């Protein structure tokens, strides 16, 4: 009798687990909208601050500021996300910026090496 009870309990547990799947985890792209930035050494020893705004409606703005120098106009465009990738297409750019999503960072995957150098732009999300 004791063995029957254990088998019934095991079957009930299996049904409970199989019948109640865990909710799917959201894709990393669902949390992408926000403000990201990078601070790197710029020309003449000044700091260069690059800020990327990804708005929830798909609009993107990229601003590059070399501290201590005249401010240049921001670049505008659109962005989209699919799975674990974000693509930013800026107006007038020769090719889009493609990033991988890793926690609070956008990690460069494809970019214009003439504009962003050999390492691209590693951007970190500002605190929410």
Can you list the domains of the chain with their CATH numbers? Answer: 28-125 (2.40.128.640)
pLDDT in tens, 9-57: 555 555 555 555 655 555 555 689 999 999 988 777 889 999 999 999 9
| φ, ψ of residue 28 in degrees (nearest 5) | -55, -30
DSSP per-residue string spanning 77-92: EEEEEETTEEEEEETT
Supply the pLDDT for residue 108: 97
pTM here is: 0.75
Q: How far apart are CA 14 and CA 3, in angstroms?
A: 17
């Amino acid at each position: 009798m004791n063995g029957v009870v254990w088998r019934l309990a095991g079957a009930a547990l299996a049904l409970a687990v199989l019948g109640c799947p865990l909710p799917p985890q959201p894709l990393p792209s669902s949390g992408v909208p926000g403000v990201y930035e990078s601070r790197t050494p710029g020309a003449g020893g000044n700091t260069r601050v690059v800020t990327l705004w990804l708005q929830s409606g798909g609009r993107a703005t990229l601003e590059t500021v070399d501290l201590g120098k005249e401010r240049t106009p921001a670049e505008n465009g659109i962005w989209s996300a699919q799975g674990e990738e974000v693509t930013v297409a800026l107006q007038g750019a020769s090719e889009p910026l493609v990033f991988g999503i890793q926690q609070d960072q956008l990690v460069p995957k494809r970019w214009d090496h003439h504009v962003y150098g050999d390492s691209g732009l590693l951007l970190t999300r500002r605190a929410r």
